[in-house]
Structure 1
Amino acid sequence: MQRQWWQASVGYQIWPKSFNDSNGDGMGDIPGILEKLDYLQQLGVDLLWLSPIYPSPLADEGYDISDYCGVDPRFGTMADLERLISETKRRGMRLLLDLVVNHCSDEHPWFQKALADPEGPYGQYFYFRRGKNGAPPCNWRGYFGAGVWSPVPGRADLYYLHLFHEKQPDLNWSNPALRREIYQMVNWWLDKGIAGFRVDAIVNIGKPDSFRDYPADRPDGLADCCNMLAEPSAKAHLAEYLTELRDNTFRPHGAFTVGEVFDTDPAELAAFIGPDGYFSSMFDFAATCCGKSPKGWWAARRPSPTDYRDCCFSSQKAAQGVGFLSNVIENHDEPRGASHYLPLGFEEQPRAQKALAAVTLLLRGLPFLYQGQELGMTNKPFASIHEVDDVNTKGEYAACLAAGLRADDALEVIAHYSRDNARTPVQWSAQANAGFTAGTPWMPVNLRYRSVNAEAQQADPASVLNFYKKLISLRKDPAYKETLVWGDFEPLYTEREGLAAFWRRADKKLLVLSNLSDEAMLLPLPGPVRAVVLNSRQLPPELEQQALILAPWQALVLEME
């Protein structure tokens, strides 16, 4: 595999609205990000992904874009963004933007022109279809729980397609004129100096040739729109579009790209991230998908730490020799990883959070942290559905009620899975509003900020934050970089519940051990220990002759003979 500049990087996702507010209006902004660049540099991350900062009505918190080449005034100005590009480069860091081109906002000029003349040129930028016997064209359910078709205002029996919110009409990639506009926009940003993109919801651009009904899978009589992704014509179109996008934009610029790609057939992995893949990397969402149900959140099962390990290991084996995955615990669309993957009662314990972190940061691939993850931020309590901001959570709450759950039980379900959990302001200090803003935060802060915050953890050598720094520093250490970045992965002791153990091998042999349980484990050692490279506990590990006692929630990295 050819080595690339980005493979030794560590990524960090910034959700700007909740990162840091510089002007006291209660909302994070680009100048606020600039204020925290030194913090990020000290953490050791060097690829910064910004969730959307484009003009938007915020129906889906910025993933409904009304101007692809602008900066939303809420977040600052184009000059602010250009300064951010410059300042990240000065620190040896690189900036990624979010590329959201499956859909745009219904307030985008393209869609406004399409509504004015659905049969005209801009009507071909979207999917307009006639209904069937007074009903929508097909029975697909969108990602937010409602039907994917909405009527065109003033046009009887004419509908437009939106796989997400009704204010996010899907773009018609079968139209070459649309694709040319998108490529021009992508190249415009790359010419401006960004390093690449995180590519949003991209598998959905491959639509089938016909929009047919699928068997209903919920009481609403609708079927999951994901069914269409398996259609042969949809797969063929996706391959065509992604190849063209890569060749006309990413490849000529040497850009880094990471795709938001779910449920990929291992046989198709090389097409996405192989030497001639569509993207540089793609997120590993195996653990994210674990336990999910097509019926909705109410029927989902929370994964255990062993489930998390098994999902990661399966993905590692599938990608080895193919390409680089991007490894994640959480992001802006998921609950906080500590709350989701750690057992109840342990999600707030730093030792457990460190054990989970060691697994993700030391796997083969590109680690991506999400803002606040390095502090051990957890889910926030919800007292009422009226406290919820996220459109997806509201749709899942309605699905809970439709399934017969009482309101209290429905609230308990959505409180765990809600995207709002990841969108509370970053906890910078124990001062008012977690030091996020001098004003009133757009979303209430998690009250744990008084004890869990960056300021306190920076001063504590044993903190979660400082353990993340150690993990990142180890990955970049010249003595271990060859092994931890490019070395092989091999799982070990997979028969043991609650244990993540694996080899990283190249010029050195590193044994990574992480006890994801509250029970001590006696483990045979597969050879002599040359050195203890990393230990999440302050006490030295209990090494016996050819055996090791791994304490509860202890993470170790051993260099072996």
Structure 2
Amino acid sequence: MKMTPKWWHDAVVYQIYPRSFCDSNNDGIGDLQGIISKLDYLKNLGVNVIWLSPVYRSPMDDNGYDISDYQDIAPEFGTMADMQQLLAEAKQRDIRIIMDLVVNHTSDEHPWFQEARKSKDNPYRDYYIWRQPKEGGSAPDEQGSIFGGSAWQYDEQTGEYYFHLFSKKQPDLNWENPKVQHEVHKMMNWWIEQGIGGFRLDVIDLIGKEIDKGITGNGPRLHPLLQEMNRATFGDKDLLTVGETWGATPEIAKLFSNPEREEFSMVFQFEHITLTWEHGDKWNPIPLDLPAFKKVLTKWQVELENEGWNSLFWNNHDLPRVVSKYGDEGQYRVESAKMLATTLHLMKGTPYVYQGEEIGMTNVAFDSIDDYRDIETLNFYKERTENGVAPETMLAAVHENSRDNARTPMHWDNSYNAGFSTNQPWLQVNPNYPDINVAAALEDQSSIFYHYQKLIQLRKSLPVIVHGTFEPVFEDHDKVFAYVRSDEQHRLFVLNNFTAEEVVLALPESLRTDNAECIIANYEHRQQLGEELTLKPYESFAVLMPA
């Protein structure tokens, strides 16, 4: 099956975490006017979609992923007029805005929940999931929250427990209630009328849950609910929709993203991310196993080739900085950041750039847990240290995998607080900002920024990057990730050294040619592909050959 071309096939998305991007009014919190002030920067980078993490009204228990009003803007971010200005100004620069939509749960301060907890026969009671206590008053079952502790919270007023897969201030919506579906669809259509370019749907694979059977992700009702959502809202419109699906396999991803099924444009899957989590536990980080990593990425490239669409990403607001995770944040920061960018952007799918990735921002290692703000980090630090994990062991895991690694303020220049704000930011700035910042990157023609800019330009100009087939090369090599993209006109050979060591390779006969053009490299490139190549530490390049 050949995919019908869509505008988002050659798009590049830039994720903004508004709280940490740019503070226009110097209250220490990023805001919508701050984003507007940086649109020309993003236009220069070349992206044409912004995914905006939630800016809705919220008590900010989980930094906006706990929504109390879907059709208003949180005061710390601005006003609805600011939002409309952002949409208009972005449109002038051919940039579309994707809204981050959280509909698995609301805030406990949402009017629906405020009503629901008033009495058992309130009209809004069934908008949420309630159960009687077990005999003796304990929680209905043993299900746990993703943020630690029980997924059940006792409500004194009505004597029942409500279900929350995340914070107790994030009660789960009851998607079995048609009224909930109708309200969500109506709200989505309201946003579509405002002129947005689509939605990123937070933990959307959880809405089909059957909690009495212990099923949370990928429940049997999930896909019928999504097909109904598609029909009722964005299905007949030319919008980008991406679902966050932690439990997706390629087979499940095809259900979400095969156009014939009429669900989403694509999903985020996390199989490559969780390979460095021992037994799926992010607080037990383990080193990257490159052959296993390659196998996962190759599987997704090959299996979704004709029946779906990949999202391509290394990091986001929930994940550590890629150069710290898979590269070298020290001696080879620039080389490894460019290598990782090349690896990702020349695969098939829609690439996502997380703010600061394009200048090689790194993880942060605060000295004390008191310097962290993320609810998940703080909950697990407390839980694990109380259960006997040494504080220094847990802090090392926090340094590696805390969500706050991605949430430190954006580095605009080398002035106070990295040019983010003249006031104390809500989260401390990474101390390395005097060396790693946008102003320095823009002045250096060999910077990581211009490498990203070139990759984005190549995607716009070479159809083989967007639609070509994917074939792995050196599949079993433990240091190199290489592949060939092919269409009727071209073959594109992409070669990436994932280590700080020199690597000598004997090239397959099929890739030896005098007729090859190096289109991007992170060292002085070579024009010829002979029998043998010696790759420098973290060396990466791509060569274009006739088909």
Category of TM-score, reference length = shorter chain: over 0.9
Q: Give the 3 Å change call, closer, same or farther, for CA 354–305 of structure 1 in structure 2.
A: farther
Distance 1:295 1:131 in 2: 31
Moved more, 547-556 or 486-495: 547-556
Does 1:290 pair with 2:264? no
Secondary structure, counterpart of 1:12 in structure 2: strand
Deviation at 1:294, TM superposition (A): 5.5
Deviation at 1:31, TM superposition (A): 0.5
Deviation at 1:307, TM superposition (A): 4.3
Letter in 2 for 1:194: I
Q: Give the 3 Å change call, closer, same or farther, for CA 248–539 of structure 1 in structure 2.
A: same
Check whether the contact 1:401–1:407 (CA below 8 A) recurs between aligned residues.
yes
The equivalent residue for 1:206 is: 208
Distance 2:75 2:525 in 1: 52
1:52 to 48, 51, 54: 54
Distance 2:514 2:168 in 1: 59
Deviation at 1:315, TM superposition (A): 1.6
The equivalent residue for 1:492 is: 473
Deviation at 1:343, TM superposition (A): 5.5
Does 1:313 pair with 2:314? no
Does 1:154 pair with 2:184? no
Moved more, 127-136 or 364-373: 127-136
Distance 2:523 2:255 in 1: 45
The alignment yields a C-alpha RMSD, in angstroms, of: 1.7
Moved more, 462-471 or 13-22: 462-471
Deviation at 1:130, TM superposition (A): 0.3
Percentage of matched positions with identical amino acids: 38
Letter in 1 for 2:542: V
Does 1:142 pair with 2:124? no
Check whether the contact 1:305–1:343 (CA below 8 A) recurs between aligned residues.
no
The equivalent residue for 2:485 is: 504
Does 1:553 pair with 2:534? no
Distance 1:501 1:44 in 2: 26
Residues 249-264 of structure 1 aligned to structure 2 (within 5 Å): 249-264=233-248
2:512 to 527, 542, 545: 527
Distance 2:523 2:206 in 1: 48
Does 1:513 pair with 2:495? yes
Q: Give the 3 Å change call, closer, same or farther, for CA 271–530 of structure 1 in structure 2.
A: same
Distance 1:444 1:71 in 2: 24
Check whether the contact 2:62–2:374 (CA below 8 A) recurs between aligned residues.
yes
Q: Give the 3 Å change call, closer, same or farther, for CA 189–239 of structure 1 in structure 2.
A: same
TM-score, normalised with respect to structure 2: 0.95
Residues 3-402 of structure 1 aligned to structure 2 (within 5 Å): 3-133=5-135, 134-156=137-159, 158-208=160-210, 211-212=212-213, 228-229=215-216, 235-277=219-261, 278-293=263-278, 296-342=281-327, 349-402=333-386
Distance 1:132 1:497 in 2: 53
Deviation at 1:135, TM superposition (A): 1.1
Structure 2 gap segments, 5+ residues each: none
Letter in 1 for 2:140: P
Secondary structure, counterpart of 1:324 in structure 2: coil
The equivalent residue for 2:390 is: 406
Deviation at 1:410, TM superposition (A): 1.4
Deviation at 1:519, TM superposition (A): 2.3
Check whether the contact 1:488–1:505 (CA below 8 A) recurs between aligned residues.
yes
Distance 2:493 2:285 in 1: 34
Distance 2:279 2:179 in 1: 36
Check whether the contact 1:498–1:516 (CA below 8 A) recurs between aligned residues.
yes
Distance 2:191 2:169 in 1: 25
Secondary structure, counterpart of 1:107 in structure 2: coil
Moved more, 323-332 or 274-283: 274-283
Deviation at 1:375, TM superposition (A): 0.7
Deviation at 1:494, TM superposition (A): 1.1
Secondary structure, counterpart of 2:180 in structure 1: helix
TM-score, normalised with respect to structure 1: 0.92
Letter in 1 for 2:215: M
Letter in 1 for 2:273: T
Distance 2:294 2:383 in 1: 30
Check whether the contact 1:535–1:541 (CA below 8 A) recurs between aligned residues.
no
Deviation at 1:545, TM superposition (A): 3.4
